[in-house]
Chain A
Amino acid sequence: MLDALTVAVAVTALALAAWCGHAAYRDQPTKDWHFIGMAVVSVLALAQLLVGIVQLARGERPDQGMTIFIAYLIGAFAAVPAAAFLSLSERTRWGSVTVAAGAVVLAVLEVRLYDIWGN
Chain B
Amino acid sequence: MSDTERTKAPEDARPAGQVRQFELGSGPGRVLVWFYGVFTVAAASRSVVEMILDFEKAPLAYMLSALAAVVYGFITYSLVRGGEKARRAALMCCAAELAGVLVVGTWTLVEPSAFPDSTVWSGFGMGYLLIPVILPVTGMIWLRRARTP
- Is B41's CB within 8 Å of the partner chain A? yes
CB of A86 within 8 A of CB of B53, answer no
- How many chain-A residues does the 8 Å CB contact rule pick out? 20
Question: A67: which B residues are within 8 A, CB to CB?
Answer: 49, 53
The contact string, 1 if C-beta is below 8 Å from chain B, for chain A 12-28, is: 00000000000000000
Q: Which segment of A2-10, A34-42, A95-103 sits at the interface?
A: A95-103
Question: A65: which B residues are within 8 A, CB to CB?
Answer: 53
Contacts A67-B53, A75-B41: A94 and B129 contacting too (C-beta < 8 A)? Answer: no
Number of A-B contacts (CB under 8 A): 40
Question: A90: which B residues are within 8 A, CB to CB?
Answer: 26-27, 30
CB of B34 within 8 A of CB of A86, answer yes
Question: B129: which A residues are within 8 A, CB to CB?
Answer: 108
- How many chain-B residues does the 8 Å CB contact rule pick out? 17
A105 and B27 alpha carbons, distance in the complex (Å): 20
Contacts A71-B45, A105-B38: A86 and B27 contacting too (C-beta < 8 A)? Answer: no
Question: A95: which B residues are within 8 A, CB to CB?
Answer: 30
CB of B38 within 8 A of CB of A98, answer no
CB of B27 within 8 A of CB of A98, answer no
Distance of B67 from chain A, by nearest CB (Å): 20
Q: Which A residues form the contact surface with B (CB < 8 A)? A: 65, 67-68, 71, 75, 79, 82-83, 86-87, 90, 92, 94-95, 97-98, 101-102, 105, 108
Extra contacts, 9 of them, besides A68-B49, A98-B30, A98-B34 (Cβ < 8 A), are A67-B49, A67-B53, A75-B45, A90-B27, A92-B27, A94-B30, A94-B31, A101-B31, A101-B35
Can you list 16 A-B pairs with a CB-CB distance of less than 8 A? Answer: A67-B53, A71-B45, A75-B41, A75-B42, A75-B45, A87-B30, A90-B27, A94-B27, A94-B28, A97-B30, A98-B31, A98-B34, A101-B31, A102-B34, A105-B38, A108-B129
